[in-house]
Chains A and B, each alone.
Chain A
Amino acid sequence: MLGELIQFHSIEELPDSPVTLGTTLWNPTGTWRSVRPVHVTRLSPCMLGCPAGNPIESFIRKIEEGDVDGALALIREENPLPAICGRVCFHPCEEACNRASMDASVAIHELERWVADRGKWRPTVPEKETGKSVAVVGSGPAGLTAAYHLRRLGHAVTVFEKEKELGGLLRYGIPAYRLPKDVLDREIGFLREMEIIFRTETTLSESDFEKEGFQAVLFAVGAQRFRDPRLVHQEGEGAWKALEFLKKVNEGEIKGLKGKVVVIGGGNAAIDAARCALRLGGQVTVAYRRMREDMPAFDEEVAAAEAEGISFVFLAVPQSVKRDGKGEVTGVGFARAKAGSLDASGRHKITVDPHDTFSIEADTVILATGEEPDEIPWQVDYKPEATRCETDRPGVFVAGDVVGSQRTVAYAIGWGKRAAVAIDAFLAGKEAELEKITLPGGEGISMRAYRGEVTIPEGEAVSFEEVNDFYFPDVKRAAPRRLPMAQSVSGFKEVVKGLSKPQALREAGRCFHCGDCVMCDNCLIFCPDIAITRKEDASGYDVDLDHCKGCGICARECPRGAIIMVEERV
């Protein structure tokens, strides 16, 4: 605000001695400016990294404010399965985290898990019912997520599951030492409380769909179809398909394994199967056709398997299951491969010499050579990666592993959200404006933006160069507590035990809060023109543009890139 200029119109008006009569506030030094500072909210890279669209930066801020319940409520606006994600997600958010460029990324997944385990949250039924009814086929992460969001949007939802129990891959694929079944049950319990109807051991025929009065159906049936390596003598006792093996283990039907186990494959199912086989008493070797760095399995999982004593053989291309006269498995025959240059996917190309063979003894073989999308039992056609979840039939939608190639829980959740929006728009006779609610440069969508509760920040996410790392002292990344090794490998108890409260609070404190003003006062403190003041309601800062000279110190000293300098237009 400008002050009054004191002027003398005659000698008489001058004071006797030259003394100060007023301030410099009359002087509009703002006219010197060519750029002006603007406090903004910007995207943090972690959120772009999350295919599930978790509100990462803001839930961590809630933790720091001591509001664990608030943090959980915020996550559940977007993601119905935080206790699961916090355990099994391979956290692409952490790869995107700016702090990784300084010391180590924030342990976001551990914080998500901590919030989900500690926070209190109760589901509610929607205030207004739309009267519309949606069928969801498949109760894996994509189906559950879609059901949850459709229900929150006021639709009646029925989930059809062909198996005895709910959860899909979460129940029958992921072993309990990674995801305890009670954690899964608790999350599904919340969905029941929202009056989502679950029908297990049931499939949905086209005629039933009509008869029962559904207006839309979502197929989230997954990708569990066995990709057959066609090995000689592969059929018969002693040779398992990985997912069947994992299902039996998860159902508690396999109580023990004796002798040597060879797992063929290099994906997450291979590692899951291997670590299960080890826990059941087997002596386990994983054989993979390429090199360690080429394995599609997540590195942390491979490292855990190695630490538990599982052996790995690389450049081993399986040829046959060896069986004795009685048909019992005795081993696996391999041809040796040679690693060449890298292919388009960044993995080693291999060449196989069919005459250079070797075998590994085995009493049990587990074939984990990959899975294909399941078939949708209806007459529908759809394109792979159809991000709008549409098929060639109006009202019939697809989501999750059946349509996407990135087959992880976080991606499945992202699919479930997109499907919920697509179906909601379809039921309202509108176009689904998915682009508007997709984080720019990311894959996740924001349900809160869809409901008009928040606006998605524009522009690029804050880069590490824009973070002022001086303001962030080195703090070691929290390492979760773990079950002792001997106990880990002798049963199916959860291996990773999560963070303690002090650990979680310290870890939350490591967050830069990229692009989100936390009112640290730096801009105000370093302003040479005393032109920045705190707003009365503490919701941010005001800039005195009458006097701000546009030096840019505030933007430079903002620890988190939440001030930008905008050119003045003349």
Chain B
Amino acid sequence: MIEPTYTIEESEELVHPGHLACQGCGATIAMRYVLKALGKKTVVVIPACCWSIIVGLFPSSCLDVPLIHTAFETAAAAATGARAALDVQGQEDVNVLAWAGDGGTFDIGFQALSGAAERNENIIYCCYDNEAYMNTGIQRSSATPVGAWTTTTPQGGLEDRPKKDIVRIMAAHNVPYTATANVAFPDDLYQKIKKAASYKGMKFIHILSPCPTGWRIPSSESIEVARLATLSNVFPLYEVINGSKWRVTYIPQKKVPVEKYLEAQARFRLMGEEEKKRIQKNVDEYWKELLKRAKR
């Protein structure tokens, strides 16, 4: 039959055009499908990040849902407060979505996030990961992969430190739902958010969101490159229920070498053949371990 068929339901768009994202911004696509899955009864909390700009200047907002701008390190704390306020009013059916970048999640907002997870706050925390502090001009974060050029690692940080395994950390908080997602797989993203919303307690979704500006790729290739991340197992798609039940949600049919993913992006241009081989090895090992955890 005529493919592809998406399971994303036909519904009102809650993200409006006219927003201030760069051409080809993956984070915008991420928000589009997360809000489609959550619906209009949602409050969004956004700390300092690209999205605090994307959303538009006062008094405009591209979102058709209430939004709270908050300080860089406070997404989870502010979301906790919003949740408490809604609950007090008896509005338990309203979703609270904390929407933060990787800097705001992996680094500066981590303490607040860990605290909220430990308390099992009834919120959905989405980290849209563009793998650097993009809004302030591409500075390295602990989500920046080894070998990637940033303005603070002009040689492409080549020390062999793997990217912080945020989902495993969050799963170790034994929260009801943690998952990875990728804007190149909107159906998988949409279904995971739907699923997340069905749990009470802390939900954490890590969404790979390509940034053409920071990744040094043409805007048209944004989705293509994000897809390669999953097809090459650099960014596997999986979910963890209650911190213990691991499930891989997408198994690539044709294996793509990591090299293809790296070479599609100029931010990896300084990387040598040896590094690429090492990364391939790390990716293979991680994938094997993931499958083991998922008992596949």
Interface residues of A (CB under 8 A from B): 2-3, 6, 15, 18-29, 32, 64, 470-474, 509, 513, 518-522, 525-531, 544, 546-547, 549-553, 555-557, 559, 565
Contact = CB atoms under 8 A, between A and B. Distances in A.
Interface string B66-99: 1100000000000000000000000000000000
Contacts of A29: 17-20
6 contacts: A20-B60, A27-B19, A471-B4, A528-B25, A529-B28, A552-B219
A24 B29 contact: no
Given A26-B60, A472-B3, A525-B186, A552 B16 contact: no
Interface residues of B, number: 44
B221 A18 contact: no
B62 A24 contact: yes
B15 interface: yes
A471 B61 contact: no
Contacts of B218: 552
Interface in B1-28: 1-4, 6, 8, 13, 15-21, 23-26, 28
Contacts of B18: 2-3, 23-29, 547
A521 B33 CA distance: 14
Nearest to A8: B59
- Chain B contact residues, majority secondary structure: loop
Interface of B: 1-4, 6, 8, 13, 15-21, 23-26, 28-29, 32, 55-56, 58-62, 64, 66-67, 186, 212, 218-224, 227, 231, 253-254
Given A6-B60, A19-B59, A526 B220 contact: no
Contact of A530 (B8, B32, B55, B223): B32
Nearest to A15: B59
B19 to A, nearest CB: 5
A522 B29 CA distance: 13
Contacts of B67: 20
Contact of B24 (A3, A25, A64, A553): A553
B4 A522 contact: yes
Contact of A525 (B2, B8, B62, B222): B8
Contacts of B13: 530
Given A470-B227, A553-B222, A24 B23 contact: no
A241 to B, nearest CB: 51
B111 to A, nearest CB: 27
B17 A530 contact: yes
B220 A23 contact: no
Nearest 7 CB-CB pairings of A with B:
A552-B220, A24-B18, A547-B17, A27-B18, A551-B23, A21-B59, A551-B24
A509 B219 CA distance: 31
Contacts of B231: 470
Contacts of A25: 16-18
Nearest to A554: B220
Nearest to A27: B18
Given A3-B18, A520-B2, A528 B29 contact: yes
Nearest to B63: A20
B220 A555 contact: yes
A348 to B, nearest CB: 39
A58 B231 CA distance: 32
Contact of B16 (A24, A64, A525, A553): A24
B253 A556 contact: no
Nearest to B16: A23
A474, A557, A559: most-surrounded residue (chain B CB, <10 A): A557
Given A547-B18, A551-B212, 18 more contacts: A23-B60, A24-B17, A24-B56, A24-B62, A28-B18, A470-B227, A474-B253, A474-B254, A525-B8, A525-B186, A526-B29, A526-B186, A528-B222, A529-B28, A530-B13, A552-B219, A553-B219, A557-B224
A18 B18 CA distance: 20
Most buried by A among B23, B62, B222: B23
A516 to B, nearest CB: 11
B221 A556 contact: yes
Given A23-B16, A556-B221, A528 B21 contact: yes
B17 A552 contact: no
B253 A473 contact: yes
Nearest to B13: A530
A2 B17 CA distance: 9
A469 to B, nearest CB: 9
Nearest to A555: B220
A64 B28 contact: no
Given A64-B1, A518-B2, A24 B19 contact: yes
B64 A23 contact: yes
Contacts of A559: 3-4
A23 B6 contact: no
Given A64-B2, A470-B227, A550-B23, A531 B60 contact: no
Nearest to B222: A553
B223 A553 contact: yes
Contacts of A3: 18
A565 B24 CA distance: 14
Contacts of B254: 474
Given A528-B25, A530-B16, A509 B61 contact: no
A474 to B, nearest CB: 7
Contacts of A530: 13, 15-17, 32
Contacts of A18: 58-59
Contact of A552 (B3, B4, B24, B64): B24
Given A23-B60, A24-B62, A473-B253, A525 B224 contact: no
Nearest to A526: B223
Nearest to B60: A24
Nearest to B19: A24
A474 B64 CA distance: 41
B16 to A, nearest CB: 5
Nearest to A468: B224
A401 to B, nearest CB: 40
Given A25-B18, A29-B17, A518-B2, A528 B224 contact: no
B220 A553 contact: yes
Contacts of A21: 59-60
A550 to B, nearest CB: 7
A299 B32 CA distance: 53
A149 to B, nearest CB: 32
